[in-house]
Structures are given as C-alpha cells and as structure tokens.
Amino acid sequence: MPEVHLREVSKRFGSIDAIEDFEIEIRNGEYICVLGPTGSGKTTLVRLIAGLLRPDEGEILIDGKVVNRVPAEERNVAYMPQQYALFSHLTVLKNVAYGPLSRGKDNETASRTAFDALKMVRLNGRAEAFPSELSGGMQQRVALARSLASGSKLLLLDEPLSALDARLRVELRYRLKSMAKSLGLTVIHVTHDQREAMIVADRIVVLRAGRCQQVGTPFHVYQRPDNLFVANFVGESNFLEGTVTRNDSTSAIVELRGGLNVVVQETSFLAGERVALMIRQESTAMTSIAESTNALPGTIQAIRFLGDSLRIEARLTNGDILGARVPVPSVEAYPKVGDEIMTSFNSADVGVYPVPARGIEREIEVA
C-alpha cells in the first residue's frame, strides 16, 4: 500500500538549492504529476524518492517508514529515468518480463504480465523484436511497460512519454492513467507538459526552482492558481498591470496605464495598491461590440490558426496586449489583422495578484 510522505525535504548541490523545504503527502493509489520547467528540480525529487540521492534535510517516508537510509534496491520502487536502458541482448518481451521473473514469478505469469503491459503501450506486436530494431519512441514505451510490469506498486516516471510523437503521446497518456488505476499503483509522474499533467493527474504539484508553488487537483490549480507563475504555467493567460482606484467591497476598479479601467470582483486589495490582473485567454472574447462588464478597444495584430480554435492577439489603445482563444468563426465572420476589435471579459473572470518585486515578466518567465 504505497503511501509516500515528504517532510521538509531539502537537497543542495554545492551552492544550488535543488529542492527546498518540500512537503507532500501522497495517498495510496494516487496519481501525482510533478509539473515544472526544465531545471526546476523535478528529476532531483524523484531520485530522492527512488533512493539514488540522500536528502540533506527532512525525511522521506514510504508506507509510514522513514527510508532516508534505505538503499534504492531495497525500496521496492519502479523508477523509470529519462535516460533509461533496455537489455540489448533480450527481446522486448523478455525485457519487460525481467522484473516479475526476478521477483520469483513463474515464466507463464511473468510473460502474461509482460504481454499486458506491452498491450498498454501498443507494442504487443513487437514482443519478439530486439531493442536495436526499434525507434527511440518505441524503446521508451518498452521501458515504460517494464516499469508497469515490474510488480512494484510505487512507480516513479521521469518524463515517460517525452520521446513520443505528439499524436501518440496524447493517446498513451489516457492509457497510462487507466492502467495505473486498474493495477492500483501509486504513481509520481514528472513532466514539463501542463496539458499532460491536467489529463493524468489526481493532483498536480507545480515546482519552480526547487520550491513547491501549488498542490491541487487539475481543476483547482487551473481555476484558482495561487500565484502568477502557476497562472502562466498552467493554461494560457493574459497579464495586465494597474492600480486599484476604488474598492466598495462588492467590486473594485483597477486603472491600467493610459487610463483604461477594469472592473474586478476581487476585493481584498486596497485603493492605491499596485496589482497584476490575470485573465484566461478562453475567457477573453474578441467581438465587434462590447459584450461584457469589461470591454477594452484594440486592434488585431496577429491571428493564429490552431485547428479547433483561433488565437487572436489585440493591441489595446494603451499598448497592452491581450490574447483570446476563440472557436473558429465562419468565413464571413473571419477577422483580419488590423481590424478594430473589442476585447471583452467578465469581472468574475479576472484574477488579481500582488505585483511581484521583479515585475510580471520576470516572475512568469519560463525560458
């Protein structure tokens, strides 16, 4: 019944705090995604749980037992690193059956388990191939199947789908989650792809520069990001900066540069305070006439076709830029760069945050 607790875990490499003061309680059977940009400490975190690194501070508990001093091979964890290695002299099936066989399962059971895992990653047709005959993406899937078949109930997956084509990646993430649930596995899945995290996770941990930014269900993290970094990293958002000019406890007004005003329903900031506003791109509409509480005029400066939607960027009269994600319009209603437009959004859809010390841009910077 793998439950994993991390209590105030820190890990340093020289002067770099790779993981700082990390705290989480992962329940038995839970699917956790650790989400963050490259370099945020995600790999360090899984290596700590796997036992390949020892924390400088804090405790790691698996099933209520402190495992800081327990070596990796005795932790009963299946760890799939980003640099995985398959046995080149064994067939795909034998690679995947290796785990169950070494745990004492008989040949038939081990092969059956291996075959089921290969079906999940859609490679049951290549069971007799050797790793060298497969593409990079296929090899990654074999490594994933090997983790699933290992017999361990706690899986640590470090970017398990990164080598796959976009299309296949989308397909496999659904299967991965349902397989983990049907096997009753506790999974810690590391990724930089927020869409992937949204789909597979029971809860998401957003990590940045070694520190936890927010933990919550995908729904919660998406609807109520705790800070600007999370608001930018998960989903697509617009950010505007302004000063609160009025607050009458049911709504407030924020004045942007150039005198543009935005009505918000967040009333915890006082008049005179500088704030950062966050509006999701799908909550922003681009229309010919004002349609909501807030309607700021602008000019279309870019239109991107995304297949199932358009992303329209408009420059407001004060120079600020707003992006909107809208359904693809009919040919007659198709907008053009240079069109005058009204960007509309409801006051209830505006998130209000304190302006960070180093400014909005540096705070949300991912690369």
Partner 1 sequence: MVIVGPSGCGKTTFIKCLAGMVAPSEGEIYFDGRLMTDLPPEERGVGYVFQEIALFPTMSVWDNVTYGPRVRGWSSERTRRTAREFLDMIKLEAREDSYPRELSGGARQKTGVARALASGSNLILFDEPLGALDAKVRVELRYEIRNLVRDLKLTAIHITHDQEEALSIADRVVVMKAGSFVEVGTPDELYEHPKTIFGANFVGEANFLEGTVLNADGETSTIEWGEGLLLESQNASPGEGERVVAAIRPESVIVQKGNDEEGIRGFVETMDFEGETARYEVKIPGYGLFAVRIPFHRGSRPYDVGDPVVIKAPPNKVLLYPYPKEGLQKELDIESRG
Q: What distance in Å separates the CA atoms of residue 112 and residue 93, rounded to the nearest whole number?
A: 10
Report if residue 175 touches partner 1, rule: CB under 8 A.
no
Tokens 């607790």, located at residue:
5
Cβ of residue 166: shortest distance to partner 1, in angstroms?
4
**Cβ contacts of residue 236 below 8 Å, gap of 6+?**
280, 281, 282, 323, 325
Nearer to partner 1, 105 or 192 (CB): 192
Choose which of 73, 108, 248, 308 interacts with partner 1 (CB under 8 A): 308
Choose which of 44, 194, 214, 238 interacts with partner 1 (CB under 8 A): 194
The piece of 68-76, 190-198, 242-250, 290-298 that touches partner 1 (CB under 8 A) is 190-198
Sign of the alpha-carbon dihedral angle for 232, 219, 46, 173: negative
CB-hemisphere CA count at 13 Å for 297? 6
Tokens of 66: 């402190």
Report if residue 47 touches partner 1, rule: CB under 8 A.
no
Q: Cβ of 337: how many Cβ atoms within 10 Å?
A: 11
Report if residue 195 touches partner 1, rule: CB under 8 A.
yes
The piece of 59-67, 255-263, 276-284, 292-300 that touches partner 1 (CB under 8 A) is 276-284
**Cβ contacts of residue 17 below 8 Å, gap of 6+?**
10, 11, 209, 210
Report if residue 138 touches partner 1, rule: CB under 8 A.
yes
Cβ of residue 240: shortest distance to partner 1, in angstroms?
18
The piece of 14-22, 99-107, 227-235, 268-276 that touches partner 1 (CB under 8 A) is 227-235
Choose which of 168, 253, 290, 355 interacts with partner 1 (CB under 8 A): 168
Report if residue 335 touches partner 1, rule: CB under 8 A.
no
Q: Which residues of 18-46 are buried (b: 16+ CB within 10 A; e: fewer)?
A: bbbebebebeebbbbbbbbeeebbbbbbb
Nearer to partner 1, 283 or 299 (CB): 283
Q: What distance in Å separates the CA atoms of residue 48 and residue 188, rounded to the nearest whole number?
A: 12
**Cβ contacts of residue 30 below 8 Å, gap of 6+?**
186, 187, 202, 203
Choose which of 85, 166, 270, 357 interacts with partner 1 (CB under 8 A): 166
Bridge partners, residue 342, by sequence = 287, 297
DSSP letter for each residue of 7-48: EEEEEEETTEEEEEEEEEEE-TT-EEEEE--TTSSHHHHHHH
Choose which of 16, 66, 337, 348 interacts with partner 1 (CB under 8 A): 348
Choose which of 47, 75, 105, 126 interacts with partner 1 (CB under 8 A): 126
Q: Where do contacts with partner 1 occur on this chain (CB under 8 A)?
A: 37-39, 122, 126, 129, 133-138, 165-168, 170, 174, 192-196, 198-199, 218-219, 222-223, 233-236, 280-283, 302, 304-309, 311, 325, 327, 348-349, 366-367
